[in-house]
Structure formats: C-alpha cells, structure tokens
Amino acid sequence: MAWRQLFLICLSAVALLSMLWEGAAVSVGPRQVAGQEAQEDVEEIFMQESDALNFLKKHSKQSPRFQDEVNVENRQKLWADELRREYHEEQRNEFENFVEEQNDEQGERSREAVEQWRQWHYDGLYSSYLYNRHHI
C-alpha cells in the first residue's frame, strides 16, 4: 500500500514538473530563447567542471592546523574547565555552609527543648543533671 502511494506521488510530481516546465517555456517565448536563457542560468549558477574538480582536490582534505591554533584552543578549554570547577566548588561550599547552619540550628533547638523540659520537671530536690550522675 505504501509503495503504491509513493509511486503515485512521484508520478504526479513528475507530471506537475513537466507541465510547469512547458508552461514556463511558452510564457517566455519560443523554445530556442527559453533554452538559451536556461543554459545561461545554468552557467551562472554552476562553475566549470575543471574548476569544481580543482576546488575539490584542494579542499577535500582538512588543512593542517598550526600549533598556535591548537594551543589557543586548549587554553580556552582549560579556562572554561577552570571556570566550571570554580562555579561547582562555590556551589558545593554554599550548600555545605547551609547544611551546617541547619544542623547547628536543629541542635540548638534540641538543646533548648531539653533545657525547658528539665526546668519544667525540676522539683528542687536534686542538683542539675550533670552533677547527679550515678558513678559505678
């Protein structure tokens, strides 16, 4: 089914292009003039075959890079890596400081809660917890 559809699309495209080509030739004038103009357009767009072959021979291989270019490129990569490393180190330090502050605050709240509990439950008979340990 797909092959049949593809074949019909190609066939209709070829028919459409042939009709457009004939219509353009008729609208310009006689076929000789249209053919000459088409030949001139082709010559303007495309280069000569020998020029194209010379161009491809010269540019088919990648030109060698000079050591200065390689050094500059490597320096740029190293600089970008250093910036990335500094950024991540700064982010890690900020996060570690944040976590440390959170832990300190949590410990302080915990100590305050324990102290409040001790004050609430202290009946005056015993000394503070640190001095009331039972030694073996």
Q: Confirm if 126 and 132 have CB atoms less than 8 A apart.
A: yes
Q: What is the pLDDT of residue 75?
A: 96
Q: What is the pLDDT of residue 24?
A: 59
What pLDDT band is residue 129 in, cutting at 50, 70 and 90?
low
Q: What is the pLDDT of residue 83?
A: 97
DSSP H helical ranges for the chain: 2-28, 31-45, 49-59, 67-121
Q: What is the pLDDT of residue 37?
A: 66
What value does the mean pLDDT take over residues 85-110?
96
CA distances from 136 to 70, 133 (A): 75, 9
Q: What is the pLDDT of residue 57?
A: 75
Helices 2-28 + 31-45 axis angle, to 10:
110
What CA–CA distance (Å, rounded) separates 103 from 106? Answer: 5
pLDDT, tens digit, 9 for 90 and up, residues 59-70:
666 667 789 999
Enter the tokens of residue 58. 């010269």
pLDDT, tens digit, 9 for 90 and up, residues 26-47:
555 555 555 666 666 656 677 7
